[in-house]
Copies of this chain bind each other. A is one copy, B any other.
Amino acid sequence: MNYHQDSVSGVNIAYIGGGSRLWAWRLMADLALEEQLSGTIKLYDIDFESALENEQMGNLFSAHTAAKGKWRYQAVRSLKEALEGADFVVLSILPGTMEEMASDVHLPEKYGIYQPVGDTAGPGGIMRTLRTIPIYAGFAAAIKEFAPEAWIINYTNPMALCVRTLYEVFPQVKVFGCCHEVFSTQELLAAVVEDQLGVKGVTRAAIRTNVVGINHFTWIDQASYRGTDLFPVYRRFVDKHFEAGFATPGKGPWTKNVFNCGNRVKFDLFRRYGLIAAAGDRHLVEFLPPWYLKDLETVKSWQFHLTGIDFRRARLAEANQERREIITGKKEPKLEASGEEGVKLIKALLGLGDYVANVNLPNQGQMPDLPQGAVVETNALFRLNSVQPVVCRRMPPAISALVSRQVCNQETVLQAALTKDRTLAFKAFVNDPLVTIGLQEAEELFDQMLKNTKKYLPGWEV
């Protein structure tokens, strides 16, 4: 890398999962719009063709007239090629395929277990985790060998256990996990300021929040706008909109899109627990007993959706289609800021200004009521080659109980995956809050789900 007055050139980024559609494109856009950085991105993907198409996409973004940062994209055929010489490594993969996801999300429905996402907790989340951990153990070994000093940014879910696996296998790894779920809640708080205080044009950048918890089950325990503590304000806001729900700004009504929600679960959790739950409602409900997931009726009444795999398949096909249109010149690439923070964090790590962001890191003291080493999500201070989480207060005990339960289960899943222990994995499965069926039924379901994902469980006896 070369440092100039206020910029850095020659930055090498490895993008693992480099054929990825949405996430890769967001980064491409943000990099193109960033004037202080330039360099090379190596795209590695088990689907090399997709990486190749992204190479073209990326170079088109970079060549865009509005692009300020010049980047060269290059698809490569091996992890090694991608990692060697990398200053930053982005991990953003789909562990398995839509087929496994279909089993994760829809098979439990036969037993009355509904999951809007199925990527972190719940039966689906556990299965996805079991197949992700061996992949990440491999990443850790490769990073140790080829890029031990690089900063690793993880976007893949299950976030906590991806990050945890990297640290477990290569303790010196410099990784943190980024997720945008908290951002929507910050945007909601910006809308709260407008709705309750009458201030127009507030963006999430003006909202200060302190985040505690674990990824997708994060909570805000301090929130302010300039000199105003937003907690009493949010309480009034919740009272006003509890019944009708409130659309997250910029996303439209909850009925418009399968990812949208009316924030009613968030409002209900605030009333019950006193902190501001800070993820999409569809994520939050998966960490709790089936209070909001009892049946489809209940789901609807709380104003969120189950994200079916058919929808995901269609979305993927559209994205492929869009990419082809762009690289064949039928369509213009759209160069707009994604709202993600990855590039901002990269800049801070390069010494281009301090930054405070919520990220996923092993607990090293920042969350006094969770075990050391568990991957938690809190604010952290980013500076040149340094990420330091800030120390948070203890969570209220009732929230601590909900979160701890998940952390314990995650630890069980990790050990089950690392030791390929079916019995241990089942213990985590039946301890999941969403699994309220009988032991026997649970075993049946577990068996089927495990079989459906066995291709990704090397060395397991399934």
Interface positions of A (Cβ within 8 A of B): 1, 3, 8, 208, 210, 222, 224-229, 272-273, 289-291, 294, 298, 350-352, 354, 356, 364-366, 368-369, 371, 379-381, 383-386, 388-392, 397-398, 400-402, 404-405, 408-409, 411-412, 415, 423-424, 426-428, 430-431, 435-436, 438-439
Contacts and interface: CB of A to CB of B under 8 A. Distances in A.
Contact of A222 (B386, B389, B408, B415): B386
Contacts of A404: 404-405, 408
Residue of A289, A354, A369, A405 with highest tally of chain B CB at under 10 A: A289
Nearest to A425: B398
Contact of A294 (B385, B428, B438): B438
A384 B430 contact: no
Determine which residue in A294, A390, A409, A412 has the highest number of CB atoms from chain B within 10 A of its CB, and name it.
A390
Nearest to A225: B351
Nearest to A294: B438
Contact of A401 (B379, B401, B412): B412
A163 to B, nearest CB: 16
Q: How many copies does the complex hold?
A: 4
A374 B122 CA distance: 28
Given A365-B365, A401-B427, 8 more contacts: A3-B227, A222-B384, A226-B352, A227-B350, A272-B423, A364-B368, A401-B405, A404-B404
A3 B226 contact: yes
Contacts of A371: 369
Contact of A228 (B3, B368, B397, B428): B3
B289 A384 contact: no
B388 A351 contact: no
A350 B226 CA distance: 8
Given A366-B391, A397-B412, A208 B427 contact: no
Nearest to A435: B289
Contacts of A290: 436, 438
B412 A431 contact: no
A381 B356 contact: yes
23 contacts: A208-B351, A224-B351, A224-B384, A226-B384, A227-B350, A272-B427, A273-B427, A289-B430, A289-B436, A291-B438, A291-B439, A298-B438, A365-B366, A365-B391, A379-B381, A380-B390, A381-B390, A388-B391, A390-B391, A397-B415, A400-B408, A401-B405, A401-B409
A354 to B, nearest CB: 7
A428 B409 CA distance: 19
Given A351-B228, A366-B391, A386 B210 contact: yes
Nearest to A402: B431
Contacts of A368: 364-365
A3 B225 CA distance: 11
Contacts of A224: 351, 383-385
A350 B369 CA distance: 28
Contacts of A398: 412, 424, 427-428, 431
A393 to B, nearest CB: 8
Contacts of A431: 289, 398, 401-402, 405
B436 A385 contact: no
Given A364-B368, A384-B224, A388-B390, A291 B430 contact: yes
Contacts of A1: 227
A410 to B, nearest CB: 9
Contacts of A225: 351
A229 B385 contact: yes
A354 B208 contact: yes
B401 A428 contact: yes
A462 B213 CA distance: 32
Contacts of A423: 272
A386 B211 CA distance: 13
